[in-house]
Structure 1
Amino acid sequence: MNTKFSLLTLLFLFTTVVFAQNGSISGTIFDNDSNEAVPFATIAVIDSSSQTVKGAISTDEGKFNINNINYGTYSLQISFIGYQTITLNNITLSKTSPEVNMKTVMLKPQSESLNEVTIKAIKKTASTKIDRKTYSTTDFETAKGGNAADVLNKLPSVTVDPNGNVSVRGTSDFMVYLNGKPTQVDASTLLSQISANAINKIDVITVPTARYDAQGKGGIINISTKTKGIEGLSISANGLIGGAPWANITDKYSNYKLNDDRYGGGLNLVYNKNNMSLYGGFNYNKKNVNGKRSGDARVLVKDPLGEYFHMVAAGERPEWYEYYSANAGVDFKLSNKDQLSLSYFYGNRTAGRAAYYIYNNFFAEADKSNKNLTSETWVYNPNIDNRFGEYHTINADYSIDFNESSNLKIATSYENSDLSRELTNQNYDYNPTTDTASSTIDQGYSLSDSTPLKGFRFSIDYSKNINETDVLGFGFQTNYANIAGDFNFENNLVTKDLDNSIDLSRTVYAAYADYSGNVGKLDYIVGLRTEYGDQNMDVTNTDYLTLFNNTGRSNYEDKEFDLFPSAHLSYSISEKDKLILASSRRINRPSVTNLAPFLYRRHFEVYVVGDPELEAEYLNNVELTYDTKIGKNTFSLTGFYRGTDNAVFRVNTTTTNVENPDVFDILQENVLIRSYTNAGNSTALGAELNANIVVTSFAKLFLGGSLYNFNIKGDVFGYNVDNSSTNWTLKGNLNLNLSQTFKFNFDYNIKSRTVTSQGSNDSFSMANIALNYKPKNLKGWDFSLRGLDIFSTNLQGLDTNAFNGSQEQIFYQETEYTRNGPIVELGINYTLNMKGKKKKEKTFEGNKHFK
């Protein structure tokens, strides 16, 4: 008995000593160039006999913590695809020093041949960081044949309407950054020129920190393209062909051939050698859209012929888009401490649409009763709108590390864009009995503008490590943009001179300071940004048409000094759970499109004109995110509030003698007219969910959705507006690895109805599928067959109406756009890396590699 007790005591003491001799190694891994965290990096603990004893995979934040390591001296080997493997030697764990924190470990882009590594662990589609949500684009197979806007439309917080306009949580005003650099080009235009195949990841930053521009209601969308590669020459080529030939038709009045033909391709190269990295590429895309439009509009006229004038329209509405772009860049590592980067981007855009509509016009009551047949007319109205653009952007960046704890970055960019537009709006007599349009023009409009843009940016950013965890950053940034352009309005029936020109210059001087660090489990970034905006706009023709009793000045100045505080807090509840709180104040300065007093005949029944007296909007944003991991699944729930003061509304009224006699005297028409004005406030309050679900070892599902209350309050033409709706979106993306060569992808997008300042937009839904094939015997080749809008649900409905102070409905407009579907695309991709001799392949399956 005593012997057994003694043996148990000795065994207990031995076990206690052994386990007491265990230590841990931790740290955080960052990209040396971008300073972004590197997730999914492989960390191996190697003993003196070169044997791997422990290992781990870094988290989304680049963090790792390896426990239960016996006391001793080890080496730490860290590797990841596209980076140089780094080995940290002489790491000693002992009784006096059982925990070693490696702090920050910087991985450099690969500059020598590395072993090929295959990560078999399933990568998350979305990840949450302290100041952003990051989405991997490799899972969105159905977007590969398109552009950046097509990829964005897969994300839960982002919506892209059928016209290509992008909005974040209901607002279309946001900044686009390309590889971390801001741009002057209109967001929708830039996104349409970036090939989806060239995108590596997308950051959605709804609450930016102080170092980012304060401009933009929706925040910032940063698109990172594939500009990194391993040692040697890497080549990526892609091609696309698609359409829906079974649905091709020819418009009987214009003889225009409507189709959904699309084709494109691209070539991208990356070359890395020693201390230099070269990259460049060319991408081309052409897409036609086969569509129809129907509409019903009426305006209050109180004419003896009838209370309302009705315009009922229907017809074909084809669209066409053609883009090509080229880019080139070089990164020089001048020494171990400094680097110089130069890049150039060129883009060329042609985008247009035609509206081949038949209009039935008549006087009647609001419900079309008591129709006055003697006043009825029929009109064939071919309306063609083309937009053109040529874009040049040059960037230069210099970065230097003065020591291990401080860094200085200097960046500059220059943009030069030629932008123009041509619009024709012709009216022909139409005979409904014979269903024919005459060749005689009743009246016609020809409109055009040329608005070249020149922009310049300069920034100096300095950061210094205060201690092991805290970093102080501050900087100065300036942004200058100039648009000087002319507008030409031609119509013989309008006697007033409506030609005009503008010269708009906007300079923003900004300075910021932020402080980041951590206290225990709390990480934080707090900052303050100051901006001084100096805007000046000259208008040549001061006798322009206006809806808001403008002063008719020839010069408009706006000088504002603003403070924009921000705060981001991240608290780790456990290894699997964390809370993130973020808040900021932002500004949205009006665009040239909304400011310029250029009068466009957008359709037969609609004019559009800008307002040069528009003022900036101000926003307050707050978000609270709970991020958790349950098994292999991760979930992120974000509650958010966005309040907009001095909000800009897109508003409509009429050109009738009842509401706007001065406008009627000029145009002599009973139609709608649209403009923009600061009319009130808007709020959005709700929640958003991201879920990465590992269904099986060969299937994963990404679900994203939002539910929020959207409210608009203001005064529009004397009528009190208080509209609200419960908005929701639901997006899903399913990936099935059917075999080593076949992959299936299905995604869907459902969006609810939402209110506007004068009506509502209808609900919308679409589903797409893709089958991807990577043959074993054709290394580097990738084939994808895609079906877009497989249920033919690409319908966009818009309802607009307004009342006057007497509660009379002054107009009503109902419109529905139908785009053809389904559409089939075939995509082919080829990648090649010429890095020399191939080395033995290693395979890691998460932590399973380590025993």
Structure 2
Amino acid sequence: MNFQKTIVLTFLLFLIKVTLAQNSSIKGILKDQQDNQPIEYASVALLKSDSTVIAGTITKSNGSFEFLKLQPGSYILKYVFIGYENKYSPVINLALSKNVNVGSISLNPGSELLNQVTITGEKINALNKIDKQSYRADQFESAKGGSAIDVLKNLPSVSVNGEGQISVRGSTGFLVLVNGKPVLTDAQTVLSQLPANSLENIELITSPSAKYDPDGKAGIINIVTKKGANDGFTLSANAQAGLPSTTDYDNKEQPKRFGGDVTLNYRKGKWDISVGGNYTRNDNAGYREGDVFTKNFNNNTITRFPSNGERSFDKYNYAGRLSAIYSADKNNSFSIGFFSGKRYQARLADLLYNNTTSDLSTGSLIKSTTYYNSNLQTKEGNFTLGNFDYTHTFANKSSLTASVLYENADLFGNTKNRNLKYPNTADTIQYVYNPYKNPINGYRFKLDYVVNIGEGKLESGYQFRYDTQDGQFDYFVTPATSQPDADRFRGTAKAKNQINSVYSQYSGKVNKLEYIGGLRYEYAARTVDLSYDPVPHKLNLSNLFPSLNLLYNFSDGLKGKAGYSRRIQRTNNYELNPIPEREHSETLEQGDPDLLPSFIDLAELGLIRTFNKGSFFTTLYYQNIKNPIQRVNSVYADTILNRVFTNAERAHTFGIEAGTNLQPVKWWSLYLGVNVYNYKIDGDLNILGKNSVISNDAWVYSINGNTNFKLTPTWSLQGNLNYLSNRPTAQGEDSRFLIPNASLKKTFMAGRFSATLQWQNIDLGMNQSNRQRITTSGRDFYTTTNYIYETDVFLLNFSFNLNKLTGKSKLPNSEFGDKEF
């Protein structure tokens, strides 16, 4: 019995000892040494005196932390927070049942954060360099939750019209780079799949040097994406949801708007790994008003077919991205990238037509009919890309880089064109069905060598490009009709492009003068094979592309620059495909397999001025374009127009652009860009074998403005405006296009979390915003169409950042898309 009592007593004493031994604690508060503000979400580690980690915790919103139920012993605290210097506490001797309060601990901002603090509210939003302009992407709050297009359209020389067509200095052709890598895909497809939240900077390379591909008559746009800035994990996540427009167009269904994206980066030692994914659903409601007439001189008749009705879009895309960089040692580094995504678009046009045929001389009515046209056009694309890069640095500091890129785009879709009786739309007059498949494969291999020679740098390289298209197009008409040229509406169109190029350029600096001069040679071969034509359509080109850029420093804050480069605007597969598609009841779309590329001379002369409160630049530029590619109309039948691609003889653009970033006071910043140019197109125009002479020119201007008001340390209000004036085309004019936006932003958790309310396409019932009229005419036709898109749309965007994302991530990028999409 005594033995049992002894055991029980011993056990109770043990429990008391353990309980008392784990009843000690350590607590404190972390603060910023500069402003004495608490630091939230900082890491605090509890270490033994031999640096063994015992426990860890995160500071609360007031900067406090606490470790409970500790055993007696000697401890050290380690304080860690991104952007601050790590700090260790003195040894803490913790006795039995003792509570230690280390008080207020101040952390010193690291050098990177000190630089950021210095420019808080005065971040550099734009930079001008010898051959390019660079803009911070996150300065445009209206783009949050959107795509790269929503960022891009705010830049001084860039405009986006109602059809989503992007132009730079008035030219729709430009090369897209993602983190310095070229892409074949049309800009609209590439940029629509890149979340705006993943972008760090956008660079406009308006006078590209010889090391870049010469593609793009307006130059190059380089998209720089984010990656982790510090060792360890960084995370960025965004979510967005929106309501239907406040204006009702009586569409069949309400648009859906929601999406999100996430980017995760891990950097440690020799590895830097990034993964990301996004999903975006962004439908658009709208309305269409059209008026068309054609003249038949043989029958002495005029046929009018005005129409109006719904024109809406269902659109979504999703993608996953992966990149990994491995720095084996100081002389060797490897990087791989992978991208896989899908894009879908369905355009519905339900239009009521009122057709009349009258005598051309007297105007007397011959016949009239009313019918309902339901037109559904679906386009889809599955995109897969992979790239591998290897860079070796030699003992003399020269370097050799080898790059391989593979891309596949599985493009497919169809157009369902139904002409129905009215008002009894259950009865079908005619049903035309155009399905197609158009897979594209592309390869690219590059070798680039860089070596320092004298006071400058010599860069040389070789590139091989190869891509193929295998298009299959079909055409079904119900009920069947006797159409003499029906065989031309179905078949295959196979295209092959092969390009070999070499370049060399030298850059350096002499006193106040910086320079880059180079030359690129290219041999290109193009073949188009058509199922109904036994003779291949071939084009072989051998060309030189010189370039020269100069930058002179007149004084501190004042620079002048000049540049020249020769460019080429290549034909894409959509423009080359001659198999017609019944896109609408009133239109046929087709290309030309013998279409020529455009050759462009770019020249510019500019000034750059920086001062305490901001910066200003202005540039005069000139484009001389040979064989400009145009989409023009001709009459196919009394109620059908042919829309075809052809070459005009020449075009010229002369203009001036200017931009400024100002911050007069800490709570207000202003960004403004203006572009004014004269566009002239003239010469012979061949439309399906018929020649005509055109001459059209006009002055065009665009204004992009962005202003931000910092209401409190955590509240900000921003407004921005995109305006594009009337523009001349080969056969007519496109009307002006206006987009005003506003956003209200609230930040939480020391800026790591934010909520933004966006008001897009502000109109307030004035019928001025987000609408565009397109008008063309010829000897025997006239057509004008007013596209009216939804206004006053509200969206809510949420963003979260764990640690900081910056710099560029070598994610792969697409070379196929909207030109084919």
TM-score bin (small chain): 0.7 to 0.9
Choose from 522, 525, 530 the match for 2:521.
Answer: 530
Q: Does 1:786 align with 2:780?
A: no
Query: Cα RMSD between the aligned structures?
Result: 2.1
Paired letter, 1:385: Q
Report the number of matched residues: 685
Preserved CA contact (<8 Å) 1:622 1:641: yes
Give the whole-Å Cα distance in 2 for the aligned partners of 1:707 and 1:696.
29
**In the superposition, relative to structure 1, how do residues 196 and 481 fare at CA in structure 2: closer, same or farther (>3 Å)?**
same
Instruction: Look up the match of 1:328.
Output: 322
Instruction: Look up the match of 1:284.
Output: 279
Give the whole-Å Cα distance in 1 for the aligned partners of 2:596 and 2:331.
45
Q: Does 1:509 align with 2:500?
A: yes
Instruction: Look up the match of 2:491.
Output: 500
Q: Does 1:402 align with 2:394?
A: yes
Choose from 544, 566, 585 the match for 1:585.
Answer: 566
Instruction: Look up the match of 1:723.
Output: 696
- Residue 405 of structure 1 aligns to a residue whose secondary structure is coil
Instruction: Look up the match of 1:457.
Output: 444
Paired letter, 2:374: P
1:419-818 equivalent positions in 2, closer than 5 A:
419-430=411-422, 436-467=423-454, 469-491=455-477, 492-493=480-481, 494=483, 496-497=486-487, 498-542=489-533, 554-656=535-637, 669-716=638-685, 717-776=690-749, 780-791=752-763, 793-803=769-779, 810-818=780-788
The structure that has the greater radius of gyration is: 2
Preserved CA contact (<8 Å) 2:278 2:318: yes
Task: Provide, for residues 704-756 of structure 1, a one-character-per-residue CA deviation record: whole Å limited to 9, x for no partner.
Answer: 01111100012234332110000111110101111110111110011110100
Q: CA deviation at 1:191?
A: 1.1
Instruction: Look up the match of 1:823.
Output: 793
Give the whole-Å Cα distance in 2 for the aligned partners of 1:115 and 1:704.
30
Q: CA deviation at 1:163?
A: 2.4
Paired letter, 2:392: I
Q: CA deviation at 1:566?
A: 0.1
Q: Does 1:370 align with 2:363?
A: yes
Preserved CA contact (<8 Å) 2:294 2:635: yes
Q: Does 1:387 align with 2:365?
A: no
Task: Provide, for residues 564-604 of structure 1, a one-character-per-residue CA deviation record: whole Å limited to 9, x for no partner.
Answer: 00000000000110111010111112111110112111211
Give the whole-Å Cα distance in 1 for the aligned partners of 2:465 and 2:499.
5
Q: CA deviation at 1:511?
A: 0.3
Q: CA deviation at 1:115?
A: 6.9
Choose from 285, 296, 304 the match for 1:301.
Answer: 296
Q: Does 1:236 align with 2:236?
A: yes
Instruction: Look up the match of 1:171.
Output: 171
Q: Does 1:197 align with 2:187?
A: no
Give the whole-Å Cα distance in 1 for the aligned partners of 2:642 and 2:274.
48
Paired letter, 1:214: P
Which structure has more relative contact order (CA 8 Å, sep 6+)? It is 2
**In the superposition, relative to structure 1, how do residues 775 and 323 fare at CA in structure 2: closer, same or farther (>3 Å)?**
same
Give the whole-Å Cα distance in 2 for the aligned partners of 1:245 and 1:748.
19
**In the superposition, relative to structure 1, how do residues 718 and 503 fare at CA in structure 2: closer, same or farther (>3 Å)?**
closer
Instruction: Look up the match of 2:266.
Output: 271
Preserved CA contact (<8 Å) 1:141 1:770: yes
Preserved CA contact (<8 Å) 2:249 2:287: no
Preserved CA contact (<8 Å) 2:335 2:390: yes
Q: Does 1:160 align with 2:160?
A: yes
Paired letter, 1:527: G
Instruction: Look up the match of 2:117.
Output: 119
Instruction: Look up the match of 2:57.
Output: none
Instruction: Look up the match of 2:341.
Output: 347
Q: CA deviation at 1:797?
A: 0.7
Q: CA deviation at 1:166?
A: 1.4
Q: Does 1:314 align with 2:308?
A: yes
Give the whole-Å Cα distance in 1 for the aligned partners of 2:166 and 2:364.
41
Give the whole-Å Cα distance in 2 for the aligned partners of 1:137 and 1:474.
31
- Residue 316 of structure 2 aligns to a residue whose secondary structure is strand
What is the TM-score when the length of structure 1 is the normalising length? 0.78
Preserved CA contact (<8 Å) 1:150 1:160: no
**In the superposition, relative to structure 1, how do residues 223 and 779 fare at CA in structure 2: closer, same or farther (>3 Å)?**
closer
Preserved CA contact (<8 Å) 1:260 1:823: no
Preserved CA contact (<8 Å) 2:228 2:804: no
Q: CA deviation at 1:437?
A: 3.6
Q: CA deviation at 1:802?
A: 1.1
Q: CA deviation at 1:633?
A: 2.2
What is the TM-score when the length of structure 2 is the normalising length? 0.81
Task: Provide, for residues 523-558 of structure 1, a one-character-per-residue CA deviation record: whole Å limited to 9, x for no partner.
Answer: 00000000000111211112xxxxxxxxxx530111
- Residue 289 of structure 1 aligns to a residue whose secondary structure is coil
Q: CA deviation at 1:84?
A: 12
Q: CA deviation at 1:227?
A: 2.4
Give the whole-Å Cα distance in 2 for the aligned partners of 1:185 and 1:816.
28
Give the whole-Å Cα distance in 2 for the aligned partners of 1:692 and 1:281.
32
Q: CA deviation at 1:246?
A: 4.2
Give the whole-Å Cα distance in 2 for the aligned partners of 1:648 and 1:115.
49
Give the whole-Å Cα distance in 2 for the aligned partners of 1:725 and 1:329.
46
Preserved CA contact (<8 Å) 2:245 2:790: no
Give the whole-Å Cα distance in 1 for the aligned partners of 2:801 and 2:634.
55
Preserved CA contact (<8 Å) 2:348 2:375: yes
Q: Does 1:213 align with 2:213?
A: yes
1:55-66 equivalent positions in 2, closer than 5 A:
none
Preserved CA contact (<8 Å) 2:246 2:791: no
**In the superposition, relative to structure 1, how do residues 602 and 84 fare at CA in structure 2: closer, same or farther (>3 Å)?**
farther
Identity of aligned residues (%): 31
Q: CA deviation at 1:82?
A: 8.8
Give the whole-Å Cα distance in 1 for the aligned partners of 2:529 and 2:258.
43
Paired letter, 1:811: F
**In the superposition, relative to structure 1, how do residues 554 and 421 fare at CA in structure 2: closer, same or farther (>3 Å)?**
farther
Q: CA deviation at 1:135?
A: 1.0
**In the superposition, relative to structure 1, how do residues 588 and 383 fare at CA in structure 2: closer, same or farther (>3 Å)?**
same
Q: Unpaired runs of 5+ in structure 1?
A: 1-80, 86-112, 431-435, 543-552, 657-668, 804-809, 836-851
Q: CA deviation at 1:83?
A: 13
Q: CA deviation at 1:448?
A: 1.6
Paired letter, 1:769: A
Q: CA deviation at 1:834?
A: 9.8
Instruction: Look up the match of 1:18.
Output: none
Q: CA deviation at 1:296?
A: 0.3
Give the whole-Å Cα distance in 2 for the aligned partners of 1:531 and 1:514.
15
Instruction: Look up the match of 1:59.
Output: none
Preserved CA contact (<8 Å) 1:362 1:371: no
Give the whole-Å Cα distance in 2 for the aligned partners of 1:82 and 1:171.
43
- Residue 314 of structure 2 aligns to a residue whose secondary structure is strand
- Residue 363 of structure 2 aligns to a residue whose secondary structure is coil
**In the superposition, relative to structure 1, how do residues 314 and 83 fare at CA in structure 2: closer, same or farther (>3 Å)?**
farther
Give the whole-Å Cα distance in 2 for the aligned partners of 1:115 and 1:168.
35
